Amino acid sequence: MISKLFLTLLIFGSTFSQNQDPSPECLSIFRNAALKKHNELRALHGSPPLTLNLTISIFSQNYANYLAKNLMFAYNVSSYGMNLARALAPIGHLDCKYWADFMTKQWYDEKNIYEIKNPHNIASFRFTQLVWKDTSQIGIGLSIANISLNKNKYNFVYYVANYFKPDKTDVKIAEEFNVERSTVTKVFQRKDKYINLANEEATSKKSRIQLGYFSLVEEARYKWYLAAKSANIP
Ligand SMILES: *[C@@H]1O[C@H](CO)[C@@H](O)[C@H](O)[C@H]1NC(C)=O
Ligand SMILES: *[C@@H]1O[C@H](CO)[C@@H](O)[C@H](O)[C@H]1NC(C)=O
Ligand SMILES: *[C@@H]1O[C@H](CO)[C@@H](O)[C@H](O)[C@H]1NC(C)=O
C-alpha cells in the first residue's frame, strides 16, 4: 500500500511507451469501483449518485488511450466536465480496484485545498467536479502505458472521467460552493485559457523527469494556481 502510494509520482516524459489496453475485466472492475467511490464521496455532500453512461465512457476511453499513447497529461475542451489522473504503478498485475479508489480519492482530497484556503481558490477544481450536485452521469476511461525509467519498467495508469451536467449555471455553482458568482462566471469564461495554460505548463516540463514525491493533486493545485494567478483572479 505504502509503496504504491510512493510510486504515485509525477513524470513528464520518459524513455519508452507502449500502449497496453487494460483487460475487459480490469476495465469493468475499474469503472464500477470508480463509480462506487464517486457515489460514496458524493453522498457525504448530499449529492445524488451518478450512473455510468456508455457513450461518455467510450469518449473517455478514447481520450485515455490518446493520452497513454502520447504519454501526455493534458486537458482538452469538450462539452463535458473532465477530470484526469495519472499514476505510476509497479509493472505486472494491476490492482484495478485499488487504483480506481485511490485516484478518485485524490481528486476528492482537493477538498482540503478548498476548505483551508480561501473560497476564491479555484485549485480544487477536481473536487468540485466530483461532488457537483447537478451532475447525473459519468463516463470513465482507463488506459495503461508501459514506460521505462532508469532501466526500470513501470505502468503509467491514465484515468479519465467525464461528467454530464445538463443544468449547470453560474448562480447554482456559486451558491453551492459559496463563492461569488462573478468568480464562477470569470472562471467559465476563461475556461479555454486555463486549459491552455495548464497544458502549456505541462508541456514546458515535458523533458524533465520529476522523481520527487509530488502527488497528482499537487500538480493540479499548482497548475490551477498558476492559471488563476495569471488571470488575476484573487
Ligand atoms: C449519455 O450521454 C450522451 C452524451 O452526453 C447523451 O446524449 C445520452 O442521452 C446519455 N444517455 C442516457 C441513457 O442518458
Ligand atoms: C482536443 O480539442 C481540440 C479542439 O476541440 C480537438 O480538435 C482535438 O481533436 C481534441 N483532441 C482530443 C485528443 O480529443
Ligand atoms: C507491459 O506491461 C505488462 C504488465 O503490466 C507486461 O505484461 C508486458 O510484458 C509489458 N510489455 C512490455 C513490452 O514490456
Question: Going by CA atoms, what residue is nearest to atom 7 of ligand 3?
Answer: 92
Shared domain for 229 and 131, answered yes or no, is: no
> How far, in Å, from the CA of 53 to the mean position of ligand 1?
6
**Per-residue pLDDT tens digits for 138-153:** 999 999 998 888 788 8
Shared domain for 100 and 126, answered yes or no, is: yes
Within 13 Å of residue 33, how many CA atoms lie on the same side as its CB?
19
Per DSSP, what are the bridge partners of residue 138? 52, 163
Check if the beta carbon of residue 230 is closer than 8 Å to that of residue 193.
no
Whether residue 56 has its Cβ less than 6 Å from ligand 1: yes
Residues near 187 by beta carbon (within 8 Å), at least 6 away in sequence: 122, 194, 233
Domain annotation covers residue 140: yes
The mean pLDDT value of the chain amounts to: 73
> How far, in Å, from the CA of 222 to the mean position of ligand 2?
24
Counted domains in the chain? 2
Please give the pLDDT value at position 69.
92
Please give the pLDDT value at position 214.
33
Shared domain for 25 and 64, answered yes or no, is: yes
pLDDT at 75 over 70: yes
**Per-residue pLDDT tens digits for 200-227:** 555 444 433 332 223 344 444 445 545 5
CATH number at residue 95: 3.40.33.10
Residue 137: give the domain boundaries. Answer: 17-166
Please give the pLDDT value at position 92.
79
Please give the pLDDT value at position 200.
54
| Rounded Cα–Cα distance for residues 162 and 52 (Å) | 10
Q: Is the pTM of this model over 0.95?
A: no
Please give the pLDDT value at position 18.
57
Please give the pLDDT value at position 126.
79
**Residue 13 cell numbers, joined:** 516524459
Shared domain for 185 and 157, answered yes or no, is: no
Domain annotation covers residue 11: no
Which range, of 35-44, 158-167, 184-193, 201-210, averages the lowest pLDDT?
201-210
For residue 69, give the ligand nearest its CA.
2
Shared domain for 147 and 65, answered yes or no, is: yes
Shared domain for 123 and 228, answered yes or no, is: no
Shared domain for 187 and 126, answered yes or no, is: no
**Per-residue pLDDT tens digits for 113-133:** 655 555 545 556 778 888 888
Helix and strand counts by DSSP (H, E) for the chain = 10, 5
Please give the pLDDT value at position 110.
78
Task: Select from 82, 164, 165, 168 the residue to mutate for testing ligand 1; criterion: most ligand atoms less than 8 Å from CB.
Answer: 164
Shared domain for 28 and 144, answered yes or no, is: yes
For residue 68, give the ligand nearest its CA.
2
2 compared with 152, residue with greater pLDDT: 152
155 compared with 11, residue with greater pLDDT: 155
Whether residue 155 has its Cβ less than 6 Å from ligand 3: yes
> How far, in Å, from the CA of 150 to the mean position of ligand 2?
32
Shared domain for 57 and 121, answered yes or no, is: yes
User: Relative to the CA of 80, which ligand 1 atom is closest?
Assistant: 5
Shared domain for 87 and 195, answered yes or no, is: no
11 compared with 177, residue with greater pLDDT: 177
Shared domain for 194 and 124, answered yes or no, is: no
Which range, of 9-18, 82-91, 123-132, averages the lowest pLDDT?
9-18
pLDDT at 91 over 80: yes
Q: 160, 204, 191: which is closest to 34 by C-alpha?
A: 160
Shared domain for 114 and 27, answered yes or no, is: yes
Domain annotation covers residue 136: yes
Domain annotation covers residue 106: yes
What integer is the mean pLDDT of 48-55? 95
Question: Going by CA atoms, what residue is nearest to atom 14 of ligand 2?
Answer: 63
Domain annotation covers residue 48: yes
Domain annotation covers residue 4: no
Task: Select from 142, 146, 153, 157 the residue to mutate for testing ligand 3; criterion: most ligand atoms less than 8 Å from CB.
Answer: 146
